[in-house]
Amino acid sequence: MNYGTRTDPHAQARAARQGPVLLHSLSCFREIFEIVYAHRPIRTVVEVGVESGQVSGIYTELGATAVYCVDPEPTDSLRAALRANPALHLVEAHSPDVLPELPVADLYVLDGDHNYATVRAELDWVLANAPDAVAVLHDLLWPCSRRDQYYLPSRLAPEDRHPSSADGPTVWHDELTPAGFVGLGAFTAAQEAGGERNGVLTAVEDALAAHDGWHLAMVPAIFGVGVVTRHEALLGALAPYRDSRLLYTMENNRIALYTRLLQLQFEAVAHAEDADTMAETVNRQRQEIDRLTAETADLRAQAGELRRQNERLRAMVDERSPSLADRVLRRQ
Ligand SMILES: C[S@@+](CC[C@H](N)C(=O)[O-])C[C@H]1O[C@@H](n2cnc3c(N)ncnc32)[C@H](O)[C@@H]1O
């Protein structure tokens, strides 16, 4: 950690601007994984939901010898990242279906499709088949705690999915909004939060209720990480992070600021679109003004010509008027 010095006072600011605007990756939780590794022998890892692969290497750095990286839609950069480390094995498949086909692991990291049906099935499988394992789950807090998210709802049975929307949640009101935390085509969100069989935390609670002896330690930071284990020593070691009021307060502030930023961005785009429409209208009106100005100049030129003709005619009449007067006089 670099807090800056008298001669390098900007070190912390530099570190701050190097990070993404929105922290969302489990790579931020290295010190939580260090605690897990310090208290459990972790050799085999199953990582569900890999995305960029920025966490996968951490599991081997900490001592795992094989990591099965499960993601149905690996990008080319993910493939390349995994190819660079022979201990990382890409499993191009959907969880939970693929879990029984993989070696039983010491650590399951569940961060794939964030909905009740998927997470409940994943955790049920782990708790039933890997009694000594540790499960680390991401997105146990807002926005997925009590509201399903779907990468691929069509894979779920109709009764396992809630009506969903491309709009996203915000902390500023309870309904979804296009100005909220939207999936931009990658995922959708359940229209309603709460109730039964909705959300990741609800899935974890129900799975723990169905399997004796397991406990959840919630680390309330960066969308919420849960460590599910049967090992008291590990739970004890996580105590400084578990249900930390400080982390919870900072997380709430983070999601409030971030969703405010999303709203401002949405409004800025809407204003930019308004400005475009306004510019088009101004342009059209300017062309109309140019046309009318040209027409006015033309009419002015015509009026000038008529005025000159009129003057010529008046002069002719004035020239002829005396002879007209003579004629009138002679007749008398
Ligand atoms: C939030 S990202 C994972 C981020 C990553 N764990 C990290 O912390 O950097 C979710 C990933 O889960 C994958 N995914 C979606 N549905 C899945 C499923 N049923 N099984 C496995 N992975 C899934 C998506 O393709 C996506 O890459």
Per-residue pLDDT tens over the stretch 262-297: 999 999 999 988 888 888 889 999 999 999 999 999
Predicted local confidence at residue 319, as pLDDT? 87
* CA of residue 153 to ligand 1 center, whole Å: 14
Predicted local confidence at residue 328, as pLDDT? 62
* CA of residue 221 to ligand 1 center, whole Å: 19
Asked if residues 160 and 197 have their Cβ atoms less than 8 Å apart, the reply is yes
Looking at the predicted structure, is the pLDDT value of residue 39 above 80?
A: yes
Predicted local confidence at residue 8, as pLDDT? 97
Q: What is the mean pLDDT of residues 151-169?
A: 96
Predicted local confidence at residue 273, as pLDDT? 84
Q: What is the mean pLDDT of residues 81-98?
A: 96
For the CA of 49, the closest atom of ligand 1 is: 12
CATH architecture observed for domain 11-243: 3-Layer(aba) Sandwich (3.40)
Q: Is 95 in the pocket of ligand 1 (CB under 6 A)?
A: yes
Confidence label for 320 from pLDDT (cuts 50, 70 and 90):
confident
- The preferred substitution site among 113, 150, 152 for testing ligand 1, maximizing ligand atoms within 8 Å of CB, is 113
Q: What is the mean pLDDT of residues 199-206?
A: 98
CB-based contacts of 264, cutoff 8 Å, min separation 6: none
Q: Is 207 in the pocket of ligand 1 (CB under 6 A)?
A: no
* CA of residue 23 to ligand 1 center, whole Å: 15
Of the chain, the percentage scoring pLDDT greater than 70 comes to: 97
* CA of residue 50 to ligand 1 center, whole Å: 5
**Closest C-alpha residue for ligand 1 atom 27:** 51
Q: What is the mean pLDDT of residues 185-200?
A: 98
> Which residue bears the tokens 């399903």?
148
Looking at the predicted structure, is the pLDDT value of residue 74 above 70?
A: yes
Predicted local confidence at residue 57, as pLDDT? 96
* CA of residue 140 to ligand 1 center, whole Å: 14
Q: Is 60 in the pocket of ligand 1 (CB under 6 A)?
A: no
Looking at the predicted structure, is the pLDDT value of residue 326 above 70?
A: no
Predicted local confidence at residue 325, as pLDDT? 59
Looking at the predicted structure, is the pLDDT value of residue 332 above 60?
A: no
Cα-based angle 90, 119, 197 (whole degrees, multiple of 5): 155
**Closest C-alpha residue for ligand 1 atom 25:** 73
Q: What is the mean pLDDT of residues 160-183?
A: 98
Average pLDDT of the residues of the chain: 95
For 237-296, the DSSP string reads HTTTTTT-HHHHHHHHHHHHHHHHHHHHHHHHHHHHHHHHHHHHHHHHHHHHHHHHHHHH
Q: What is the mean pLDDT of residues 94-111?
A: 98
- Sign (positive/negative) of CA torsion 64, 240, 204, 214? positive
Domain boundary assignment for the chain: 11-243
Asked if residues 217 and 229 have their Cβ atoms less than 8 Å apart, the reply is yes
For the CA of 152, the closest atom of ligand 1 is: 16
* CA of residue 34 to ligand 1 center, whole Å: 22
* Residue 218 burial (10 A CB sphere; 0-12, 13-18, 19+): buried
Predicted local confidence at residue 276, as pLDDT? 86
Buried-state track 79-112, b at ≥16 Cβ within 10 A, e below 16: eebbeebeebbbbeebbbebbeebeebbbbbbbb
Looking at the predicted structure, is the pLDDT value of residue 183 above 60?
A: yes
Of the chain, the percentage scoring pLDDT greater than 90 comes to: 91
Looking at the predicted structure, is the pLDDT value of residue 329 above 80?
A: no
